[in-house]
Amino acid sequence: MPPLVKICGLKTIAEVDAAIRHGATHIGLNHYEPSPRYIDLKTAAELRKHAGERVRVALLLVNAGPQVTGAAWSAVRPDIMQFHGNETPEWINAVKQNTKTEAWKAVGLKDSRHADAVAAI
């Protein structure tokens, strides 16, 4: 099986096309305003539509509440909801159940001692 490759932080149609042309299997769209890679939901929806079925699309959120998460999912209809904040396993499972969408949780490790904490998620 070839490796899966996700290119994150895409902001334009040209970037989506380049990622696909160079072998990406997944692309990431960042809807977290403090990030320099942030895009609004209108742009994310346009990029998602442009990508079509050529790649899987992940929509990145950070500590978004129910209203923001629901609006983001409805506007973009990503293949994957990707969470990068303090979201709990319960919250991620609720999103998965309510949207019928795959959900990923990004977890940072400072050192090997944190691996046990990650395993509990």
Indicate the pLDDT class of residue 120, thresholds 50, 70 and 90.
low
Q: How far is CA 42 from CA 4, 5, 48, 71, 76, in A?
A: 27, 25, 10, 11, 8
CA distance 81 to 64: 11
Q: Which of 78-82, 84-88, 107-111 has the highest mean pLDDT?
A: 78-82
Q: Is the pLDDT of residue 113 over 80?
A: no
Q: Mean pLDDT score of the chain, rounded to an integer?
A: 93
Residue 58's DSSP bridge partners are 28, 80
Question: Which helix (H) or strand (E) segment is 119 a member of?
Answer: helix 115-119
pLDDT digits (tens, 9 = 90+) for 24-37: 999 999 999 999 99
Residue 108 confidence (pLDDT): 77
Token pair 């959900």 is found at: 103
Q: Is the pLDDT of residue 84 over 90?
A: yes
For the four alpha carbons of 71, 77, 81 and 84, in that order, the dihedral sign comes to negative
> Do 59 and 44 meet the contact criterion of CB atoms below 8 Å apart?
yes
**Is the whole-model pTM more than 0.75?**
yes
* Domain covering 6-119: architecture: Alpha-Beta Barrel (3.20)
Q: Cα-Cα-Cα-Cα dihedral of 92, 114, 35, 61, to 10°?
A: 0
